[in-house]
Amino acid sequence: MLTIERILCPVDFSEFSDLAFDYAQSVALHYKATLFLQHVIDSLTPPYPFNPFPDSYEEVCRNVRAGAERQLHEFAESHTRPGVQLQYDVRDGVVTDLILGFAEAQAVNLIVMGTHGLRGIDHVALGSVTEKVLRKARCPVLAVRKPAHAIAAPEEEPELIPLHRILYCTDFSDNSEKAWEYAVSLAAEYNAELTALHVLEETSNATEIESVIVKVLERLEGRIPPEAIKNGKAKAAVRIGQAYQQIIELAVEAEMDLIITGVRGRDALDLAVFGSTTYRVIQLGPCPVLVVHI
């Protein structure tokens, strides 16, 4: 089973931070994990190479850090649920580098971040910090945007955000294999329904596509335990069209609570691949997306 012992949730005190922190707490409570609540002050470096008033500048920096620490504790006091094992981290510098560096130094198992969703321009829609963390993190990243349908916790466990339906997306590449491990583990942990989806490109050859669909379904179902299919806890699905559109349509139709997808690499060569499907699913999808790196 999947082990989650340390979770990192960077916040900027926006409404997107509120949502991300809710999910981070839910996972932390479920796995009894330590939750690091982090705020990074963006680069408190002097504006000029030569600073004629170093003492004054240091005082300003101390005041800014102290204010950020107070704000982070106030945020935690008003948002933290009982039972969460919370630790604080405030620092200043390059935001992305500090988030990634902290995650690696603390051996974080999961990063939970809020996203701004679609803003009309693909390249800047998620925000540069979230985009870079999603591409470069060495651990899975849960990208949280406001859900399209209400997620209500059961009365007996009001502190938890439940996962009832999980959508796993695969292109049968190496990077999707590790994501499958997370999908199976989370489905078992939360007793959730798991759908394994593969999207085929459109083709005009109807006979050929029918044959391909049959083969893909067999391949998907071959990795699902028969008892899971029999009792309705897991199923395979094949769709035809543009990958991100079909993933989103199915997620909306089935009211999925989580989408899981794998991505490969962390360098510039992989940006186009990341942007073509995963990036748009995060932007436009109806629920949080767990991005798993190989």
pLDDT digit string (tens) for 270-280? 555 455 788 88
> Mean pLDDT lowest for which of 23-32, 94-103, 173-182?
173-182
Strands (E) located in the chain = 6-10, 34-42, 85-93, 110-114, 141-144, 165-169, 193-200, 234-240, 258-263, 289-293
Distance CA(260)–CA(180), nearest Å, equals 8
pLDDT tens-place string over residues 122-147: 333 445 788 889 888 999 999 998 65
* Average model confidence (pLDDT) across the chain: 83
- Assign 3-state DSSP to the chain and report helix, strand, coil percentages, each to 5: 45, 20, 35
Task: Output the pLDDT for position 235.
Answer: 95
Domain 1-146 fold is Rossmann fold (3.40.50)
Distance CA(160)–CA(142), nearest Å, equals 16
**What is the residue type of 181?**
E
- Span 170-191, average pLDDT: 89
Is residue 211 predicted with pLDDT exceeding 50?
yes
Measured in Å, how far apart are the chain's first and last C-alpha atoms?
A: 18
- Span 75-92, average pLDDT: 93
Distance CA(153)–CA(177), nearest Å, equals 30
Q: Evaluate the CA torsion angle 267, 269, 273, 275 in order and state its sign.
A: positive
pTM of the model: 0.86
Task: Output the pLDDT for position 123.
Answer: 39
Distance CA(75)–CA(22), nearest Å, equals 12
- Span 195-202, average pLDDT: 91
* The domains spanning 1-146 and 161-294 adopt the same CATH topology: yes
Q: Evaluate the CA torsion angle 102, 80, 146, 232 in order and state its sign.
A: positive
* Among the listed residues 43, 1, 2, the one whose alpha carbon sits nearest the alpha carbon of residue 142: 2
197: tokens are 């989806």
The CA dihedral of 9, 114, 71, 138, to the nearest 10 degrees, is 30
Residue 17's Cβ-side half-sphere holds a number of Cα atoms within 13 Å equal to 17
Burial classification of residue 92, based on how many CB atoms lie within 10 Å of its CB (0-12 exposed, 13-18 middle, 19 or more buried): middle
Q: Are strands 193-200 and 110-114 parallel, antiparallel or unpaired?
A: unpaired
Domain 161-294 fold is Rossmann fold (3.40.50)
Query: Domain-by-domain residue ranges, the chain?
Result: 1-146, 161-294
